Chain A
Amino acid sequence: MAERMIEFRDALREAMSEAMREDPKVFLIGEEVAEYNGAYKVSRGMLEEFGPRRIIDAPISETGFAGLGIGAAMMGLKPIVEFMSWSFSLVAADQILNNAPKMLYMSGGQLQCPIVFRGNDGAGGQLGSTHSWCVESLYANVPGLKMVIPSDPYDAKGLLAAAIADPDPVFCLESERMLSMTGDVPEASYTLPIGKAIIRRPGTDCTIVSFGRPVHFCMEAAEQLAKEGIDCEVIDGRSVKPLDIDTIAESVRKTNCCVVVDQSWSFASVGSEVAAEVHRICFDDLDNHVHRVHNDDVPAPYAHNLEAEMLPNARKICEAVRSVTYNA
């Protein structure tokens, strides 16, 4: 089959448009999603196709439109709520953390909440401390929600489609830095299973686990390390919650060491959770404690060079792998 190279943003749009064509209960709401075609042009042309009743420009009030979406979901619709950035979702914390994930539980199973929250996560590139949030570690702490982080266009379409189809609240964390990335994406509809990781690169010497954009840094590091004779297996978790610890554990049993790369801060993070699980499940298989690569423990700097240094990068990953394999 011929390749069909499209951008990450187009893959996201295809997932939404295909779901909307199929199911009239699906709608999109967010700042600038309609008339402006989306702040990042993810929803380009959707207003034209689906009209203003289903592609809805919201005022700058995350609490308001997130709550509106949750109410709609409770009443049987399937909203997609776009945050221009996940950094802005912080003001809607009560809605997205306190209402959406708990509704099924608190209503004794009477009220489902099939909603998708999606938007840009992570340092977008010189957006400063307040607009460079990586929310995965904060939000994954809450029971009742699911969280996916696509790392390429193929996954963006398949994971978002799965998120829309899912009966529970799903947080889809995208990256402004990847929206223009192109990849081969099938035209037909498909979903990827939420909670299933993928091995991006097989290897024998060290397992590297990551999610989203840093997966690419891991691949870069793995190429460098291969030249040094360290053969890394890179696992893209795809989904933080549920976490596919089985795939990770299977790899660690083979390599006997593990580095987790997580673009959030280290304290009580996705990275620390993966490390704890690997230690629990693979204790007798480990040749070293799990090493972690995170953001440095500072707010995201504005300066370009400092930001790049603060984030996980290939150099830090190489250092961690050399250390965990006793090649430092």
Chain B
Amino acid sequence: MPIDITMPRLSDTMEKGTIIKWHVAAGDEVSSGDVLADVETDKATMEMQSFDDGKVERIAVKEGEPVDVGTVVAILLEEDESPEDAAVAQNQPVAAAPAATVESSSPAAVPAPEAQRSRAGNLKLTPVARRLAEEHGIDPASLVGSGPGGRIVKRDVLAAVGTSTETRSAVPPSAAPTPATQSQPVVIDPVPTPAVPVTAVQPVSTASTNSDIIAIPGSLQSHSEPLSNMRQTIAARLVQSKQSIPHYQVSASFNVDPLLALRKSLNQQLEGTGSKISVNDLVVRACALAMYANPLMNASWGGDSIVYNGAVNIGVAIALPVESGGGLVVATIRDADRKSIRVISAETRALSEKAKTRGLTVDEMADSTFTISNLGMFGVDDFTAIINPPNSAILAVGGAIQKPVVRDGELAVGHEMKVTLSNDHRVIDGATAAQYLVSLREYIENPAQILV
């Protein structure tokens, strides 16, 4: 039997995926484990591997075209199978098999016209889709139908054509909209005169009729860009979080002189080992250890219960480079309470690097119980973060800023770091959050504890 390669569900929330790049083409031999394509999900770009050996009979989905999970994206033929088998196996639209893929040179093996026709007969396409395909010279067999049962509908053809503006021109002149007018002489037409069809909102144009304005290098241009899957997910999830979770914030300022001193000392001693400990690494472990005395901070809202998590998995927010589309992901440092600083540091570094280049797997982003967002490297004083469900809290970490401080009743110069905890009030009351900051302060300001 020919094998349908379908869009895999690569995360719990994934409903659609986009093939960013095909690594194989029709006719290629593939083996189990070969990378077939790069798939962009709502969270990351991941590799799609083949689970079987065979020959790619057909690529059914174009690069850049989002399709539902489960949609057939390619068909693989096992040994001894012919493209006909693929055609029989599919009630989905099937590409007219180019004769070139039939390996036998015997003329008898070339699909007879009847076969072609019967296959075209299996294609379900609407009358207007058929007409538009003809007008644009598109082979309907090359299309994937988005209608019920794989029916090819107008939008599928238009997507293949490229732009919907072409439809308008495809409308015969006789069918041009002519708003009905009333022929009576005495008419104040109570019907709103049809205006130009409403078009999408245009960004405010920077173009000006004033030719005196000189273009400044680096100046902005109005334009809009379609949302990436990741941007859509960020938008949907954060709106949902902010709308459904009763957020409130509690802040504290920590004396980080001891922490900075410890870090400096550690890094001097680790010099040459390839390890370099960051402030964030220390904060990750401090946050994890502080959970022991404050288990609610590590819990989740369960609708009719509060779910206490046994593992302490710290999510670390990672900003992705603007050049590759931007966005952010949260990598999970599992069992951060049981890992050494060196391990936490190495894992964070590896995940961050992977997130920025190849993308994280679902596993690498799943199961966090608490999240840390650190903008300290930008020198911000403080900020607030939006809770990353199903977490009940997120810690927004500011920079370690040198400033005048009061130590032991004396004015001095020292480093302070401000953190702001956003909490889900359904799970965490203010005093609980404050108590957590007390515990966290214990660790941060007496950082030797973090190491043991």
Using a CB–CB cutoff of 8 Å, the interface residues on chain A facing chain B are 1, 3, 152, 154, 158, 183-184, 186, 188-193, 196-204, 226, 231, 233, 247, 250-251, 253-254, 256, 283-288, 326
Q: Do B184 and A286 touch (CB < 8 A)?
A: no
Of B127, B179, B195, the contact of A284 (CB 8 Å cutoff) = B127
**Which one of B147-155, B361-369, B384-392, B417-425 contacts A?**
B147-155
Min CB distance A309 to B, Å, is 26
Rounded to whole angstroms, the CA-CA distance of A301 and B179 in the bound complex is: 38
Q: In whole angstroms, what is the CA distance A214 to B394 when docked?
A: 53
A231 touches B198 (CB 8 A): yes
Residues A287 and B171 in contact in the complex (CB < 8 Å), given A202-B177, A256-B128: no
Asked whether A286 lies within 8 Å of B190 as measured between CB atoms, the reply is no
A189: chain B residues at CB < 8 Å are 186
Q: Which 10 A-B pairs have the closest CB atoms?
A: A202-B194, A253-B175, A287-B154, A188-B186, A190-B184, A198-B180, A256-B128, A287-B128, A284-B127, A287-B126
Alpha-carbon distance between A250 and B186 when the two chains are bound, in angstroms: 27
The number of residues on chain B lying at the interface, defined by a beta carbon within 8 Å of a beta carbon of chain A, is 34
| Complex CA distance for A1 and B22, rounded to whole angstroms | 65
- Enumerate 29 A-B pairs (CB-CB under 8 Å) in ascending A order: A3-B188, A154-B190, A158-B184, A183-B190, A186-B187, A190-B185, A191-B184, A199-B180, A199-B191, A201-B194, A202-B197, A226-B198, A247-B180, A250-B178, A251-B177, A253-B174, A254-B176, A254-B177, A256-B128, A284-B128, A284-B131, A285-B128, A285-B131, A285-B175, A287-B126, A287-B127, A287-B129, A287-B154, A288-B126
Q: Which residues of B contact A186 (CB under 8 A)?
A: 186-188
A199 touches B155 (CB 8 A): no
Indicate if B192 sits at the interface (CB-CB under 8 A). Answer: yes
In the bound complex, how far is the Cα of B130 from the Cα of A288, in angstroms?
Answer: 12
With a CB–CB cut-off of 8 A, which chain A residues contact B130?
Answer: 284
Q: Is B182 an interface residue (CB 8 A)?
A: yes
B42 CB → nearest A CB, Å: 21
Cβ of B182 and Cβ of A198 under 8 Å apart?
Answer: yes
Q: Does B146 contact A (CB under 8 A)?
A: yes
A1, A158, A286: the one contacting B126 at CB < 8 Å is A286
Which residues from chain B contact A3 at a C-beta distance below 8 Å? Answer: 188
Complex CA distance for A3 and B188, rounded to whole angstroms? 8
Question: Smallest Cβ distance from A192 to chain B, in angstroms?
Answer: 7
**B172 within 8 A of partner (CB):** yes
Residue of A nearest to B146 (CB): A326
A287-B171 Cα distance, complex, nearest whole Å = 14
Q: When each residue 77-108 of chain B gets 1 if its CB lies under 8 Å from chain A and 0 otherwise, what string results?
A: 00000000000000000000000000000000
> B186 and A231: CB pair below 8 A?
no
The chain B residue sitting closest to A328, CB to CB, is B148
Other A-B pairs beyond A186-B188, A196-B180, A288-B153, 4, CB < 8 Å = A190-B185, A193-B183, A253-B172, A254-B171
Please state if B188 and A250 are interface contacts (CB–CB under 8 Å). no
Chain B residues within 8 Å of A, Cβ to Cβ: 126-131, 146-147, 153-155, 171-172, 174-180, 182-188, 190-192, 194-195, 197-198
A233 to B179, CA, bound (A): 10
CB-nearest residue of chain B relative to A153?
B190
Q: Which of A184, A188, A202, A253 lies at the interface centre, i.e. has the most chain B CB atoms within 10 A of its CB?
A: A202
Complex contacts, B155 vs chain A, CB 8 Å: 326
**A184 CA to B192 CA, complexed, in Å:** 12
Cβ–Cβ contact A287 & B153, under 8 A: yes
What residue in chain A is nearest B130 (Cβ atoms)?
A284
Min CB gap A235→B, angstroms: 8
Given the complex, which residues of B lie within 8 Å of A201, measured CB to CB?
192, 194
Instruction: Point out which of B126, B183, B197 has the most chain A C-beta atoms below 10 A from its C-beta.
Output: B126
Q: Kindly provide the distance from the CB of A200 to the nearest chain B CB, expressed in whole angstroms.
A: 6
Residue pair A200, B191 in contact (C-beta under 8 Å): yes
Asked if residues B179 and A199 are in contact (CB atoms below 8 Å), the reply is yes
B133 nearest CB across to chain A (Å): 12
A152–B188 CA distance with the chains assembled, in angstroms: 14
Q: Please indicate which of the listed interface residues A158, A193, A204, A287 has the most CB atoms of chain B within 10 Å of its own CB.
A: A287
Residue of B nearest to A3 (CB): B188
User: In the complex, what distance in Å separates the CA atom of A286 from the CA atom of B153?
Assistant: 9
**Contacts A192-B182, A202-B179, A250-B178 given; does A1 touch B188 at CB 8 Å:** yes
Q: Which residues of B are found within 8 Å of A188, using beta-carbon distances?
A: 186
Q: Bound state CA distance, A256 and B198, in angstroms? A: 18
B186 touching A203 by the CB < 8 A rule? no
Nearest B-chain residue to A205, judged by Cβ: B197
Establish whether residues A184 and B190, one from each chain, have CB atoms under 8 Å apart when the complex forms. yes
CB <8 Å contact, B186 and A190: yes
For B200, give the chain A residue with the smallest CB separation.
Answer: A229
User: For the complex, what is the distance from the CA of A253 to the CA of B173, rounded to whole Å?
Assistant: 11
**In the bound complex, what is the Cα–Cα distance between A219 and B359 (angstroms)?**
47
CB atoms of A326 and B194 under 8 A apart: no
The smallest beta-carbon distance between B171 and chain A, in angstroms, is: 6
User: Chain B: which residue is nearest A250 at the CB level?
Assistant: B175
A199/B194 contact (C-beta < 8 A), A250-B178, A253-B171, A286-B127 known: yes
A152 to chain B, nearest CB (A): 7
